[in-house]
Amino acid sequence: MIQNSCSHGGVYTVNPSQVKIDFSSNINPFGTSKVVLNALRKNLSKLSSIYPDNEHVALKKKLLDYLGGNLSQDSINVGNGATELIYNFVRAFVRNQVVIPSPTFCEYELASRKIGAKIKYIPLKNWNLDIDRILEKSDKSDAIFLCNPNNPTGIFTYQLIERLIEKIDESVKILIDESFIELVDEIKCARSFIDKVNEFQNIVVLRSMTKSFGLAGLRLGYCVSHPSIARKISNYKITWNVNGLAQLAGVIALEDLSHLRRAQKMIRVERKFMHEVLNNKLRSFSAYDSDVNYYLIQMRNCNSTLLRDLLLERNGILVRDCSDFKGMNDKYIRVAVKTHNENLQLLNSLEVIDI
């Protein structure tokens, strides 16, 4: 029952053999970098047969260089994807009640439900955070989940989150999920809250290397917080939680940032191109701006589940049906920004359906 309340994109949500292009997972449009793949091939035999570093030391060192600022290894927890860290955050800090703006990524709800917490949903206001209502509900809550950029709507206003953090009581923990922040396009450059973790000891900033560096199958994420908070999260880590290949992939990915930079550049150009065609040339579809590597398409005459099934059956294209996001309806699909050739295939498929 609980499992059904949370669903995702990805090829295993349908018959995987039908999927030629997956627009339902929002990862780096270039996938895993060649440099990472070469390093994995070279080390496959050795890393497959030894236990991984339980403390993720090499990766944490690279992350400290990458993130800069006044952080230490004690500020970082590494997880088997960002998802593991959401669960460990919940186990560490949630007892009775949480606040979740909606619509958003469903794992916050699922993790909180699993430990029996009550959930207060706060609908977005014009797809931005309703800070006053969040503050209102926060006094009896253990934690607030803020997804920025939000899945599936895009970036929230930085100053709104800042206001919330400044006003809220420090006993309420705030998870700021920045899993997509590195895939915001190169011009917009969304501001991170990582530089606030020493000032505000109740915030935890979550990142997903799965998404930024195209490591969805290997699974890799991390979170940054004040060391006192990080220690409590680490109490819930299982031994050897991140395999050796994923750790190596993370280290090499952080040495080869050109892969990420190239993706950021392409995301901006391709999203603009898709938006122009969807908003100006097709009658039944319109695209919302998001500044990130995915966007919502609203449909006039179509049902999102039917459209997903049709695109899959006819074209082997998988999109994310948004009808099961709390606070959304069957008029939206979410699609990732992919390479130009792949994006053209999506447009061509939608054009045939356009009426």
Nearer to ligand PLP, 39 or 146 (CB): 146
To the nearest whole angstrom, how small is the minimum distance from the Cβ of residue 205 to ligand PLP? 12
Q: How far is CA 124 from the centre of its chain?
A: 18
To the nearest whole angstrom, how small is the minimum distance from the Cβ of residue 300 to ligand PLP? 27
* Residue-wise DSSP of 147-194: ESSBTTTBPPPHHHHHHHHHHS-TTSEEEEE-TTGGGS-TTT-PPPSG
Residue type (1 letter), 56: H
Nearer to ligand PLP, 226 or 334 (CB): 334
To the nearest whole angstrom, how small is the minimum distance from the Cβ of residue 106 to ligand PLP? 9
Q: Residue 52, preceding bond cis, omega within 30 degrees?
A: no
To the nearest whole angstrom, how small is the minimum distance from the Cβ of residue 25 to ligand PLP? 7
To the nearest whole angstrom, how small is the minimum distance from the Cβ of residue 211 to ligand PLP? 6
Nearer to ligand PLP, 105 or 156 (CB): 105
Print the SS3 string covering 297-321. EEECCCCHHHHHHHHHHHHCEECEE
Nearer to ligand PLP, 60 or 282 (CB): 60
Nearer to ligand PLP, 253 or 302 (CB): 253
Residue type (1 letter), 302: C
Nearer to ligand PLP, 79 or 244 (CB): 79
To the nearest whole angstrom, how small is the minimum distance from the Cβ of residue 248 to ligand PLP? 17
Nearer to ligand PLP, 141 or 208 (CB): 208
To the nearest whole angstrom, how small is the minimum distance from the Cβ of residue 180 to ligand PLP? 6
Residue type (1 letter), 178: E
Q: Which residues share a beta bridge with 21?
A: 317
Q: How far is CA 146 from the centre of its chain?
A: 11
Residue type (1 letter), 205: V
Q: Cα(32)–Cα(211) distance, rounded to whole angstroms?
A: 10
Interaction site with ligand PLP (CB under 6 A)? 81-83, 105, 147, 151, 177, 179, 208, 210, 216, 221
State the DSSP H helix or E strand holding residue 11, giving kind and residue range, or none if neither.
Answer: none
Nearer to ligand PLP, 83 or 264 (CB): 83
Nearer to ligand PLP, 282 or 295 (CB): 295
The encoded tokens of residue 314 equal: 């006819």
To the nearest whole angstrom, how small is the minimum distance from the Cβ of residue 284 to ligand PLP? 27
292 contacts 29 by C-beta, under 8 angstroms: no
Instruction: Report the residue closest to ligand PLP, judged by CB.
Output: 81
Q: Which stretches within the chain are classed as H helix?
A: 34-49, 57-67, 82-93, 107-114, 131-138, 158-167, 209-212, 227-234, 244-255, 258-280, 304-315, 340-353
To the nearest whole angstrom, how small is the minimum distance from the Cβ of residue 351 to ligand PLP? 28
Nearer to ligand PLP, 210 or 241 (CB): 210
Query: Rg of the chain over CA atoms, in angstroms?
Result: 20
As to burial, measured by CB atoms within 10 angstroms (0-12 exposed, 13-18 middle, 19+ buried), residue 257 is middle
Q: Which residues share a beta bridge with 174?
A: 144, 203
Q: Identify the DSSP state of 335.
A: E
To the nearest whole angstrom, how small is the minimum distance from the Cβ of residue 149 to ligand PLP? 8
